A = this chain, B = another copy of it.
């Protein structure tokens, strides 16, 4: 191979200039780079290893940004980034942080969209193509040439992707949909269409039943999806096509990955305790945990997820209707491969289909079952209509476990800041925020118990809670904790969490925490209790709200006696959130004292943030004990 081709690629034009042999060498070098980057930095390496040749061929044949590529969900865009001026961010360890894990127009004119949720590429491509065609009709030209959507077989199971396929054929005009079929979703593929995709692969694309043709689309199959020469040839043939076509290519996810490598036990991919499905294949999470994380303890998502699953598993043999549903991302949420195997029919991976998963849960619950739907805060957004209609309006006893919720340094497509404003403003959803592992288990027991409570959303505890618990003496294995804890509530009765709980009584000022902010609330309370040179000690009242779906009118009104100030702390967006409801409760109260209580709200601003460190965000939002205490002193001394 020619050494260091990659560093000489600054724009796609440099790819055009390579010889055929250099193109193959470039693929080799990119694969090596990805492996090295993955080991050190982590990331969605498996999917990127599968599309090395495809991406090189795309940039060889097409002319970006005149021709437009839309990478679905875009976690497979690393190679694309390397070829569009961002190679150093993968080659040079000191620059690893310079690019995001997703496409982003702020980084490059070669990225059309910020994308991190699945299935939208075909629809976006239809839109680009539509404007192009309208411009051409009007003026004879457009700044946009070919429009190419690149979507994985796993993403295809996602609702909107089907809508896109169905609309693409009807729209007509140039549109190339590359189906990158690596026989894997995030975990295994799930769904009836995958059997048919397998038949297409086995028949070199000639099998009679063809989903894409059934949507009215032209179709072409490419078995050699990791052969750059073949791909260049095929793409040259479809370039400039005058109608929508699906180019179905067969690739190998994780190609080049050494089977012998072992990663941390928490990752749910290819390692000794969780053997990989077959050579070269691994789940997307693989290498989300790079070498740097080896030996580190579980993160909060996995820790509390494992604890929740363990507590449910104990009941499977007696409760046929208890079913855990995960729309394709089990590993991140502590739903381990071992658990899934033991759970059998009590576990369903629906594929990347959040909407189906929510309506499916409604059906299970309506039939007398107790479904537990587990996914990320950000992915629950995709179920919003089903949350309101099929679940809440139908008052079915479904439990929703919200993972990854809360302000964090996440990228802007996976933020956990917005879930409370979504869930709590839907009628008839009970929204619980545990502030400890055992509280979470109690809430889960009640939510999945016989009580007629409708939908219950449980916001799984975050790192704030986990690090506090880790510092204590308690047996720290999540499975052991689940084993040892029996529900401390009446699981058949009224909601045991509807009343705010006074953790420490005091006066003058009440600090109301909720779930992840309880440690901060306690810190504020103890800081206030200290004398300093300018302020006398204040014995504040500390309250654990437990839930954010209704106001505890009785307790809030009672606090008006003896408290001039109420402070709310929430780990999420202020606008539309919980604290504002507390403020409005007091302002609109008919109780004369209550209507004069001052309220201060602390939480996140309404904004998208992209990989801003959490400490910086907490400073920005005033979510630190120092800022909160200072604000309290200011008001009490007015």
Contact = CB atoms under 8 A, between A and B. Distances in A.
Contacts of A422: 384, 425
Contact of A359 (B120, B195, B412): B120
Contacts of A364: 127-128, 130-131
B369 A131 contact: yes
B424 A345 contact: no
Interface in A407-444: 412-413, 418, 421-422, 424-428
Interface stretch (A213-221, A291-299, A494-502): A213-221
Nearest to A429: B606
B196 A138 contact: no
A567 to B, nearest CB: 11
Contacts of A606: 425, 427
A623 to B, nearest CB: 14
Interface in A129-187: 129-135, 137-139, 143-144, 157-160, 162-171
Contact of A134 (B126, B169, B369): B369
Nearest to A380: B385
Nearest to A168: B192
Nearest to A143: B368
B114 A393 contact: yes
**Chain A interface extent, by class:** 35 or more
A481 interface: no
A548 to B, nearest CB: 11
Contact of A579 (B134, B169, B584): B584
A390 interface: yes
A525 interface: no
Contacts of A389: 114-117, 120, 381, 413
Interface stretch (A9-17, A275-283, A570-578): A570-578
A426 B320 CA distance: 39
A320 B128 contact: no
A123 interface: yes
A230 interface: no
Contacts of A478: none
Given A587-B599, A595-B598, A163 B159 contact: yes
Given A159-B162, A355-B160, A428-B608, A366 B193 contact: no
Interface stretch (A53-61, A204-212, A505-513, A527-535): A204-212
Nearest to A389: B117
A192 B371 CA distance: 35
B192 A356 contact: no
Contacts of A139: 320
Interface string A27-38: 000000000000
Contacts of A215: 191-193, 196, 211
A362 to B, nearest CB: 6
A388 B425 contact: no
A28 to B, nearest CB: 34
Contact of A126 (B209, B345, B363, B587): B363
A607 interface: yes
Given A356-B164, A363-B131, A320 B137 contact: yes
Nearest to A573: B425
A84 interface: no
Contacts of A166: 157, 191-193, 351, 353, 356
A216 B574 CA distance: 46
B576 A323 contact: no
Contact of A385 (B112, B131, B164, B381): B381
Interface centre among A123, A138, A216 (most CB of B within 10 A): A123
B209 A191 contact: no
A638 interface: yes
A380 to B, nearest CB: 9
Given A320-B137, A394-B114, A584-B580, A127 B213 contact: no
Contacts of A598: 587, 595
Given A166-B192, A215-B196, A606-B427, A601 B573 contact: no
B385 A576 contact: no
A353 B123 CA distance: 10
Interface centre among A124, A169, A366, A573 (most CB of B within 10 A): A124
A128 B588 contact: no
Contacts of A608: 392-393, 427-428
Nearest to A600: B588
A361 interface: yes
A156 B170 CA distance: 15
Interface string A436-476: 00000000000000000000000000000000000000000
A257 interface: no
A138 B320 contact: yes
A382 interface: yes
Contacts of A638: 592
A574 B424 CA distance: 12
A367 interface: yes
Contact of A356 (B128, B163, B353, B381): B163
A581 interface: yes
Nearest to A605: B427
A214 to B, nearest CB: 4
Interface centre among A214, A346, A361, A390 (most CB of B within 10 A): A214
> 3 smallest A-B Cβ distances: which pairs?
A127-B363, A169-B192, A192-B216
Interface of A: 105, 112-117, 120, 123-135, 137-139, 143-144, 157-160, 162-171, 190-196, 208-211, 213-217, 320-321, 323, 345-346, 348, 350-351, 353, 355-356, 358-369, 371, 381-382, 384-386, 388-390, 392-394, 412-413, 418, 421-422, 424-428, 573-577, 579-581, 583-584, 587-588, 592, 595, 598-601, 606-608, 638
Given A114-B393, A130-B323, 16 more contacts: A114-B394, A120-B355, A123-B355, A123-B359, A124-B390, A130-B363, A131-B364, A132-B367, A134-B321, A134-B345, A137-B345, A139-B320, A157-B163, A165-B192, A209-B214, A584-B601
